[in-house]
Amino acid sequence: MSASVPGVPTRTRILEAAIACFDRSGFHGASMGAICAEAGMSPGALYRYFPSKDAIIAAIVEADRERHAGFFSRLAEADDPVEALATIGIEMMDEMFAEGGTMLAVEVTAESRRNEAIRAVVRARADQCRTAISDALTRGQERGLVDPALVAGEAAQIIMAIADGLFAQKAQDPTLTADRLRDTLRTLLGRFLRPVGR
């Protein structure tokens, strides 16, 4: 129950409470009552800041999307896309494995299958990421750092699948740690993307 801390705006407090509840019970399992209790306020007060439960979910997903986009913005400026991808990927994995970020990835994927608004946000994020990776790979191919035989768009898709897959694995087995996978992941990316002769 996060009490009324002066510095934190009410809207943020609600979002944080909602994330905690969704993490515990999922989007549909968490009740507005539980979110209200977690935020330390009554339903009436909460509905002053968000018109509906769906609006809260949408706000959370949107914030998550922006955070993700931040990761990939660095890709455009990197000299070596393979090196940058590995570093960014490992950084993302570390962050997501540490806190409750895992739940969001899994829950959002499931929800995007039926919630129109969320599907739109997810689609936009996916396009954005895939384009960023694909462009970086193409540039890498021009400089001889990436195997020219690869189809950049499809390789990008697979790389995104690996990211999503790691979150799914973590969700299924919370004891999974990032340390054990770091090296193997780096090896995988290097061998997959580099020119075969090396």
C-beta contacts of 3-6 below 8 A and 24+ residues apart = 3/40, 4/40
Q: In this chain, which stretch among 12-20, 58-66, 102-110, 137-145 interacts with a second copy, using CB under 8 A?
A: 102-110
Q: Tell whether residue 176 is a contact of a second copy (CB under 8 A).
A: yes
Contact 42, 28 (CB under 8 A): no
Q: Tell whether residue 30 is a contact of DNA (CB under 7 A).
A: yes
Which amino acid appears at position 155 of this protein?
A: A
Q: In this chain, which stretch among 42-50, 70-78, 80-88, 106-114 interacts with a second copy, using CB under 8 A?
A: 106-114
Contact 149, 194 (CB under 8 A): no
- Report the site for a second copy in 154-173 (rule: CB under 8 A): 154-155, 157-158, 160-169, 171-173
Among 12, 52, 177, 187, the residue binding DNA under the rule CB under 7 A is: 52
Burial class of 23 by CB neighbour count within 10 A (0 to 12, 13 to 18, 19+) = middle
Distance CA 135, CA 76 (A): 8
Burial class of 190 by CB neighbour count within 10 A (0 to 12, 13 to 18, 19+) = middle
Residues making contact with DNA (CB under 7 A): 4, 10, 30-33, 40-45, 47-48, 51-54
Instruction: Please give the residue ranges that form the binding site for a second copy (CB under 8 A).
Output: 24-26, 28-29, 103, 106-107, 109-114, 119, 122-123, 126, 150-151, 154-155, 157-158, 160-169, 171-173, 176, 180-181, 183-185, 187-188, 191-192, 196, 198
